[in-house]
């Protein structure tokens, strides 16, 4: 049996350290650090032997994803821009003037900016090209393109399926003839792929799928001999990121968990293969509660309602607000739990292993809890009895089926699916059966109004969108809300809508309320960032449940004598 890794902290700064990358000579690490105040990621370089880090960038926007040129003289990186975009820039490894190459779209988590599927950049062996995620038309998923450093010309390398989110996290093999990457089926869910390239980086054939877990896979890096790929992904038992290794070319190879690689993100391997570095994140994701004195008006101090030494997320009030259903990995696996409204009397309803899972609501009669999960490989819709038991699967289409809600009369289930090629709102009978499309021009995260007259949903990216509505009986769709809805979380009451909001750049994250009658927006409560900031409003509008990350920290870890 392989001996556990012995890791030591490479950084222990205040704030968050992220995205480590070894220099070509293996003597330095480039990384992104939020600074002592924890409010501005910049690019830094530090010697392996220690000493003060050299700060390369000072721009107030967040920066991430450093990538060394093969000669070690330059570093490419991303700088956050509004509207979910980023600039690709070059800077000397010693600091100095910067050169912008292109703007691209990036995946962004609420409150945590670039902590998504990445890193996003990799250099060709000759130093003439960068590989970036890019799309040349709005309706297409992101593919991987090679970008000329000198001319800015772009050429596609991968062609993701139309019903996928796209390709990201590129990594060249040591000989430069194979590109590993992540293909996303949902915003943070996908698998590892590779594609063979000719000497001039022209694709040879179709991409080959390496993993089949449909989990949160990210950041592939090659071992120096080119035989294996190291990556981080959630485990089979919980949603904690761990480090894995897989044979790059063996057919049917299965990923192997790297001992002591739990809580490992963004791995990087030294050119000699003797050192491994990665980011280690620690925080408690807890469920909080605050009382509301009226629509959009918090009262008193919020209190931590449900917590453990692990993570709690996706809380949902029962229709009478007497119970709370939520997800947790408190016992080393993902499970669905229910408690009383004050957080007491927690009871496990069902165990789901480590597959990504989110609760989406209760049936109007309070007898069932509806959720989506990759429990059986792909994202599908399930329910579990409020009294516990085995979950029942309601959809079996090979597409991604997520983000769902019951109709107010309990007869229908609205859900989001890309079974038609792009994400639209669909509906099916509550007991399962044939589904029919509801929207035609895009739609996600459906929810009926309390009176059952309108169906609300979001448009735009799955991370940032605008709120729309359409009469349940049919008619013209209209836009309700222009501000960005972060992660598309919202809750409808008769007087307005609560929604999760984040500025287009920066960390500020909050729940806001839009009043239908006055069309005024007010901040209800400010949140600490988490993965992810779910919230729910009780049916009587008296309370808000929300999730936030308490005591968020991230340091870089270094493993010597890695093999």
Q: pLDDT tens digit string along 363-421?
A: 999 999 999 998 887 889 999 999 999 999 999 998 989 999 999 999 999 999 999 98
Query: Is residue 498's pLDDT more than 90?
Result: yes
Instruction: For 277-320, give the DSSP string.
Output: EEEEEEEEEEEEEEEEEETTEEEEEEEEEE--SS-EEEEEE-TT
DSSP class of residue 443? Answer: -
| Weakest mean pLDDT among 148-152, 326-330, 451-455, 559-563 | 559-563
Percent of the chain whose pLDDT exceeds 90 = 66
Q: What per-residue confidence (pLDDT) applies to 210? A: 96
Whether pTM > 0.85 for this model: the answer is no
Strand arrangement of the beta sheet that strand 380-385 belongs to: 357-362, 368-373, 380-385, 392-393
Entry field: residues in the chain: 563
Query: Is residue 297's pLDDT more than 50?
Result: yes
Read off the pLDDT of residues 526-541 as tens digits, 9 standing for 90 and up.
887 776 778 999 999 9
Q: What per-residue confidence (pLDDT) applies to 113? A: 46
Query: Is residue 125's pLDDT more than 80?
Result: yes
| Weakest mean pLDDT among 258-262, 451-455, 483-487 | 483-487
Read off the pLDDT of residues 11-41 as tens digits, 9 standing for 90 and up.
989 888 999 999 999 999 999 999 887 778 9
Q: What per-residue confidence (pLDDT) applies to 430? A: 96
Mean pLDDT, residues 277-284: 86
Query: Is residue 346's pLDDT more than 80?
Result: yes
Confidence tier at 506 by pLDDT (50, 70, 90):
low
| Weakest mean pLDDT among 103-117, 355-369, 429-443 | 103-117
Mean pLDDT, residues 36-65: 91
Confidence tier at 463 by pLDDT (50, 70, 90):
low
Confidence tier at 501 by pLDDT (50, 70, 90):
confident
Taking alpha carbons only, the member of 413, 480, 422 closest to residue 446 is 413
Q: What per-residue confidence (pLDDT) applies to 140? A: 86
What proportions of the chain, in percent to the nearest 5, are helix, strand and coil?
Answer: 0, 55, 45
Pick 188 or 205 by higher pLDDT: 205
Q: What per-residue confidence (pLDDT) applies to 117? A: 72
Q: Which residues pair with 548 in a beta bridge?
A: 286
Distance CA 42, CA 31 (A): 8
Mean pLDDT, residues 165-184: 95
Residue found under tokens 């109709």: 407
Q: CA neighbours within 13 Å on the CB side: how many for 443? A: 25
Read off the pLDDT of residues 317-335 as tens digits, 9 standing for 90 and up.
999 999 999 999 888 889 9
Query: Is residue 298's pLDDT more than 80?
Result: no
Q: What per-residue confidence (pLDDT) applies to 272? A: 94
Query: What are the structure tokens assigned to 206, written together?
Result: 């179709």
Query: Is residue 112's pLDDT more than 70?
Result: no
The three-state secondary structure class of 504 is coil
| Weakest mean pLDDT among 142-151, 239-248, 394-403, 482-491 | 482-491
Mean pLDDT, residues 213-223: 88
């Amino acid at each position: 049996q392989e001996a556990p890794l012995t890791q030591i902290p490479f950084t222990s700064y205040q704030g968050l350290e992220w995205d480590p990358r070894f220099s070509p000579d293996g003597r330095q690490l480039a990384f992104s650090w939020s600074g002592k105040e924890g409010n501005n990621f910049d690019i830094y370089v530090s010697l392996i032997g220690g000493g003060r880090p050299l700060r390369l960038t000072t721009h107030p926007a967040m920066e991430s994803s450093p990538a060394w040129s093969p000669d070690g003289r330059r570093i490419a990186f991303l700088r956050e821009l509004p509207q979910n975009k980023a600039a690709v820039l070059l800077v000397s490894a010693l600091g100095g003037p910067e050169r912008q190459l292109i703007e691209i779209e990036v995946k962004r988590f609420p409150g945590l900016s670039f902590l998504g599927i990445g890193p996003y950049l990799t250099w060709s062996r000759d130093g003439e090209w960068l590989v970036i995620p890019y799309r040349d038309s709005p309706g297409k998923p992101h593919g991987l393109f090679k970008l000329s450093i000198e001319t800015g010309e772009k050429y596609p390398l991968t062609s993701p399926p139309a019903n996928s989110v796209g390709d990201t996290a590129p990594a060249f093999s040591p000989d430069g003839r194979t590109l590993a990457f992540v293909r996303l089926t949902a915003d943070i869910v996908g698998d590892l792929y590779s594609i063979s390239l000719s000497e001039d980086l022209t694709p040879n054939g179709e991409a080959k799928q390496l993993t089949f877990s449909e989990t949160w896979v990210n950041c592939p890096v090659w071992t120096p001999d080119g035989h294996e790929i190291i990556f981080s992904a959630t485990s089979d038992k919980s949603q904690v990121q761990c480090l894995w290794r897989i044979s790059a070319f063996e057919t049917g190879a299965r990923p192997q968990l790297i001992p002591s690689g739990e809580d490992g993100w963004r791995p990087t391997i030294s050119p000699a293969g003797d050192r491994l570095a990665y980011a280690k994140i620690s925080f408690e994701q807890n469920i909080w509660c605050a009382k509301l004195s009226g629509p959009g008006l918090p009262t008193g101090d919020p209190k931590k309602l449900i917590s453990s030494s692990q993570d709690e997320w996706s809380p949902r009030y029962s229709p009478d607000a007497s119970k709370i259903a939520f997800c947790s990995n408190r016992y080393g696996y993902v499970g669905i739990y229910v408690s009383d409204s004050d957080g007491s009397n927690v009871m496990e309803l069902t165990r789901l292993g480590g597959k990504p899972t989110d609760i989406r609501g209760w049936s109007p009669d309070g007898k069932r809890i509806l959720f989506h999960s990759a429990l059986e490989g792909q994202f599908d819709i399930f329910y579990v009895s409020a009294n516990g038991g085995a979950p029942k699967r309601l959809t079996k289409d090979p597409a991604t089926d997520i983000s769902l809600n019951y109709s107010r009369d309990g007869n229908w289930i609205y859900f989001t699916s890309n079974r038609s090629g792009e994400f639209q709102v669909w509906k099916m009978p509550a007991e399962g059966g044939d589904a029919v499309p509801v929207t035609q021009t895009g739609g996600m995260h459906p929810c009926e109004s309390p009176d059952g007259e309108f169906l609300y949903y979001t448009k735009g990216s799955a991370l940032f969108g605008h709120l729309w509505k359409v009469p349940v009986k049919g008619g013209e769709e209209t836009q309700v809300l222009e501000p960005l809805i972060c992660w598309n979380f919202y809750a409808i009451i008769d007087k307005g809508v609560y929604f999760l909001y984040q500025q287009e750049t920066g960390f500020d994250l909050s729940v806001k309320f839009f009043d239908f009658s006055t069309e005024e927006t007010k901040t209800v409560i400010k949140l600490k960032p988490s993965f992810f900031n779910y919230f729910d409003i009780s049916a009587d509008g008296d309370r808000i449940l929300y999730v936030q990350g308490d005591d968020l920290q991230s340091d870089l870890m270094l493993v010597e004598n890695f093999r």
